Structure formats: structure tokens, C-alpha cells
Amino acid sequence: MFKRLPGDEARNLVTTTPDTAIVFQPAVVRTPAIITLAIYLYRFLVALVRTIWRHPVATAVPTALVCTWYQYGWPLAASLFGIVALSLVSWAFIDRPSFAHLVGWRLLAWWRLMSVYRRHWQSVMDVSGLGKRVYGRAYLPWLVRVQCDGWADRITVRMLRGQAVKDRSDRIDNLAHGFGATSCRVALIKGGRLQLIFPRRDPLATPIPALPVPDEPSVGPVEIGKQEDGRPLKLKVHGTHVLIAGATGAGKGSFLWDTIRGLLPAIRVGQAQVWALDPKLMELSFGRELFQGRYAADPADCADLLDEAVSVMQKRAARFAGLQRSHVPTVEDPFVLVLVDEVAFLTAYQPDKQLRQRISAALATLATQGRSVGVGVMAALQDPRKEVMNIRNLFPDKIALRLDESEQVDMVLGDGARDRGALADHISPIPEQGAGVAYMRLETSPEPIRVRAAYVSDTDIRAMVAQFGEAA
């Protein structure tokens, strides 16, 4: 028979009987009841002070009602409660945004904290492997707070010492299913703290109709759709290069046409030009009248057009040298956006080796030297592999629509993007649900954001040509 052993001695026990669990009883030190009560009282007081400090209004109102009931009786307390409730309901109907910001989302966050996250926190952490047990003592990541907005819950978590962000990124599926969400994303706040984002609904589930053409000419960030948090999606095209990758039918054309649509007023006044390369002849050909004759579909013509763009870039660089370091669009030096619909056909699948090398060299030259002199490149492709697009790292801003494989997400957006929640391989293949939905990783932010571009139909393109074609 085994004698009683301290817990640490269990690791030294050996059994020769297979599938037999070793049962031991560690030594128990009995704690006096007064110490246990003092510890619980201290924890209660700390929790009470923390609650009052964080939620002064939520604690003051019920406290005032209880005091009124005790001092003046329940009728007056019930009347005050009815007045408070009626005031809140009236506020919600009169000014819903301010009510949601100051009261509604706070109440929802408290309810989600108590009914979902705190209730299941320990079990989810243990099952997912994020909780640790050392010498019989359980250690769990600390749930700091819960914030809610119109579409997601944002959970601030303090990690255990020694844990890394990747430990949690590798278990985003466990966390999502453990808390009843469709997905989970991880964002680092600062050392030791991170934020878990659990969507409650999908604000990008329905297609977005084509946005109105801007009234004022501008080459600044072009509004092309909507972000997941409801804010407008504005894509920077002047002073950067954009790479768009997505499977067939994922909606790459939406990003191309939304960008063109946003630049139309600037094109009309001569501050911008769009040079289109359309080797498939199925996308940009609808609006070739908008491109002022700078449209090419044949590979040889595409190479000539790229060489012309390189020439414009080099001439500007020679004139700007020593005078200015950034480009300001003017009629004399307009912003030039080179659109390439299927760049892989020109750089990888082109059978003519000399033509392929010529096109690749021109694109690389534009991507490395063009942004400072007002020449940008926006390239779209289906296959993001290195041997297909070997200059993809020269594009500061990247967009990943629906992709076929999980490995392709990091190929497009960079290492670790999928671990941070860019699940581009999970976007729905149903056009009404997933076409135009994408994850963006911008040069100014390493965190991928989920967006949806507006759908520009054939009718919208014909209307654009009818209105701006002759002027362009």
C-alpha cells in the first residue's frame, strides 16, 4: 500500500501495471477558520471597491433605491424606479447613438461578462490549454474587462508570465467555439496584454451597392466600401502600391472599379490618370473609354504601356531631384495609377520569356521607385505563390479576398496574418455572402481588418462611361 506522500513526490512513483492510475493523498495543512474568513472578506472588499470605481452609476442607482425603500417605504422607491426606467427608454428612442454609447453597450458588456465569459472562462482556458497547473495549483489568464459595440465583444486579457501571443493565436478556433462565437481574432495591446475580438453578428453579410461618385476631385484615400465596424472603407492609392489576391469569383473587380469610380472627378480635371492592363479582356474592357487611350490587352501592348509608365516615372524623378521629395498631383504631373487585372498572366504564365522578363522588370521598377513621384500600381491576381508573383513584397498594402488554402493567407498578407484572425480561406464562396469581402493589411498597421467593397455592376460601369467617358 502507498503511504501518504507530498504532492511533489508523485513524479517519482513508478508502476509496472499498465493503464493503472497512481492514487496518492498529499499532505494537508489545515488553515484556521479565522484566516480563511479574513481572506474571503478581503477579496470581497477589493471586488466591491473595484466595482464601485469602475461602475459608479450602475452601483449608485440601486443603492439609492434601496436606501429610499428603507427610509421612506416601497411606494416611493417603486416610483423612482419607474421614473428612471421611463427616462432611459425615452432617451433610447430620442437619441439612440448617445444612449448606446453611454448606457446600452455598457449594460450589454456587463451582461456578456457575467453570462458568457466569466461563467465559462475557467473551463475554456483549461480545455484549450491556455490555463496551466504547476505543482497542483491552477493559473489562468486574467480576464480584465469586456467591451461591446454594434457587432463584436472585445475582451482584454492579461496573459500569464511566460506565455506568448502565438499561444493564443494557435487556439483561436478553440476560443471561438468555447464562447459560442463564429470566429476569434487576436490583437496585441501592449506587453502582457492582448485583446480577443468575438463577433456577435456579421455587418458585411449583405452586398453593398455602388457608392456615389465623389463631388470633389481628389486622389486621397478613395472610399470603396465599408469596414466591419461600420466605418467607411477608404483605400489609399496615391503614395503606395496595392496588391489584391483572391480566387475566381471572389470580387477582385469590385476593388478595381471602386477605385476607378472614386478617381473619376480627378480624372476629369486632369489630376489623375488610370492606365489599364487587361490581359483577360473580361474586366477593364467595359470602361476602356475612361482610360484616355491608355488601355492594353495584348501582352506586347501591356509591356509597351508599362515601359511608358517607367519612362514617365524616370523623367519626373529627374525633374524632382533636389526640389521635392513627395508628389503633389497637378495637371502637368497627374497621379498615374497602373491597374493590372491578372498580373500572373503577364509575369508567370506568359510563354514568351523575353516579354515576361521585360514586364516583370518594368513592374519591379515601378513598385520600387514610383510611389514618391506619383506613379502607383494596383495589381490583382489569383495565385499568390512566390514563383507566380515574386515581387509581392514590394506592395506596402495588401488585400486578401477569398483564398483556397490557409497557407495562401500568409503569402498575401505576411507571416502571422492568419494567426491574428485573417481567415480569408473561410470567406463564403456564395457571391451574395462573400464576393467583395476581404482582409486588408496596410503599411501603417500590422493588424488585418475585415472589409467589404461595394459592388459596381455592369449598369454602373456603363453609366460611368456615359458621364465621364467623353470628358476623359
Annotated binding site for ATP: 246-253
Amino acid letter for position 310: V
With a CB cutoff of 8 Å and minimum separation 6, the contacts of 273 are: 267, 291, 292, 294, 334, 335, 336, 337
For 402, phi then psi, to 5°, come to: -60, 130
Q: What is the DSSP annotation of 238-266?
A: TTS-EEEE--TTS-HHHHHHHHHHHHHHH
Whether 156 contacts 145, CB under 8 Å: yes
Q: How far, in Å, CA of 235 to CA of 439, rounded?
A: 13
Q: How far, in Å, CA of 296 to CA of 302, rounded?
A: 5
SS3 462: helix
Q: What is the DSSP annotation of 67-89?
A: HHHHHH-HHHHHHHHHHHHHHHH
Q: How far, in Å, CA of 446 to CA of 420, rounded?
A: 10
User: What does R_g of the chain's alpha carbons equal in angstroms?
Assistant: 30
Annotated binding-site members: 246-253
Edge-to-edge, what's the strand order for the sheet holding 193-199?
Answer: 142-148, 152-158, 193-199, 185-190
With a CB cutoff of 8 Å and minimum separation 6, the contacts of 375 are: 309, 312, 313, 316, 335, 336, 338, 366
Strand pairing partners for 132?
Answer: 139
With a CB cutoff of 8 Å and minimum separation 6, the contacts of 52 are: 59
Whether 389 contacts 348, CB under 8 Å: yes
Q: How far, in Å, CA of 379 to CA of 377, rounded?
A: 6
SS3 168: helix
SS3 468: helix
